[in-house]
């Protein structure tokens, strides 16, 4: 009788799902940058790729988008936005910093301008060092390409010293680099002059209340453009074999082309 009771007890224990208090907590992913990464507010049709990035992860709420329009690496730090992220970081989290666009280049605005050879690099070094001090993992990302074509229909690469500085700091400090400048240049060129329009905000006057004067914006993204760049960022994480890739959802192809694109 005793052995029978033991068998019944063993069967009951085996039928209970195993749970562990040590189950791994998913990391958070903090995004730092300006408007090409930031969440937009209606009625604007501009979209930052950070808005679409969360859809690439298996668990909801992992992406914390702290990017804000108009911020350079200097103003993001000086306004206390970086300090707010640092206070929230915990060991195992990830920080993706994308600076070095038009805001860092605004020489006429001392509140935002950074020298790509000195102050800009120092700002990135600070972000990397303070991320690591919290036990989190830094990632640097280059700014995406600006849509530009010459009269012969050839894509024009517009490199800037801030992009090169981002690459240099990533190499210097052994930080993973999402080279979105290179990847978006490939994307723009593959779509052709007509197809690449769909990645950006192009509207005739009076078409939308959020842009009554229309738009001919070859820097910021449309909803489609933001989604495509978010996919490129996820692809870069996979390409680098970062541990963060284990939290990415099954791969979604980035090969879809908008209407009118060239093959």
Residue 255 lies in a domain: no
Number of domains observed in the structure of the chain: 1
- CATH number, domain at 165? 3.40.50.1110
Mean pLDDT, range 211-234, rounded to an integer: 89
At 175-201, the pLDDT tens digits run 999 999 999 999 999 999 999 999 998
pTM: 0.85
What pLDDT digit, counting tens, does each position of 142-167 carry? 999 999 999 999 999 998 999 999 99
Q: How does the average pLDDT of the chain come out, rounded? A: 87
In a domain, 6, yes or no: no
Nearest to 35 by CA among 206, 193, 219: 219
Angle at 96 between CA 160 and CA 155, to 5 degrees: 35
Assigned domain for 191 exists: yes
**Residue 18 resides in a domain:** no
Q: In which domain, by residue range, is 214 found?
A: 26-247
In whole angstroms, what is the distance from residue 170 CA to residue 182 CA?
A: 15
Residue 16 lies in a domain: no
Would 172 be classed as within a structural domain?
yes
Q: Is residue 259 part of a domain?
A: no
Is residue 1, in this structure, part of any structural domain at all?
no
């Amino acid at each position: 009788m005793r052995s029978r009771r033991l068998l019944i007890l063993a069967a009951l224990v085996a039928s209970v799902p195993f749970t562990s208090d040590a189950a791994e907590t998913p990391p958070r992913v903090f995004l730092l940058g300006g408007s090409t990464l930031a969440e937009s507010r209606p009625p604007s049709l501009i979209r930052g790729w950070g808005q679409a990035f969360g859809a690439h992860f298996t668990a909801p709420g992992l992406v914390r988008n702290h990017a804000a329009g108009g911020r350079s690496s200097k103003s993001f730090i000086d306004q206390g936005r970086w300090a707010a992220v640092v206070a929230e970081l915990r060991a195992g989290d990830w920080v993706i910093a994308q600076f070095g666009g038009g805001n860092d280049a605004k020489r006429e605005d001392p509140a935002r301008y950074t020298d790509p050879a000195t102050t800009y690099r120092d700002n990135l070094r600070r972000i990397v060092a303070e991320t690591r001090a919290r036990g989190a993992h830094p990632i640097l990302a280059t700014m995406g390409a600006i849509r530009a074509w010459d009269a012969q229909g050839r894509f024009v690469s517009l490199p800037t010293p801030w992009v090169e500085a981002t690459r240099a700091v990533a190499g210097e400090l052994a930080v993973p680099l999402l080279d979105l400048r290179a990847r978006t240049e490939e994307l723009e060129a593959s779509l052709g002059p007509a197809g690449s329009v769909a990645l950006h905000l192009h509207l005739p006057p009076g078409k939308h209340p959020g842009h009554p004067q229309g738009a001919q914006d070859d820097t910021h993204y449309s909803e489609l453009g933001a989604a495509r760049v978010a996919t490129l960022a996820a692809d870069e994480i996979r390409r680098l074999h970062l541990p963060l890739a284990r939290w990415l959802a099954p791969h979604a192809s980035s090969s879809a082309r908008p209407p009118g694109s060239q093959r």
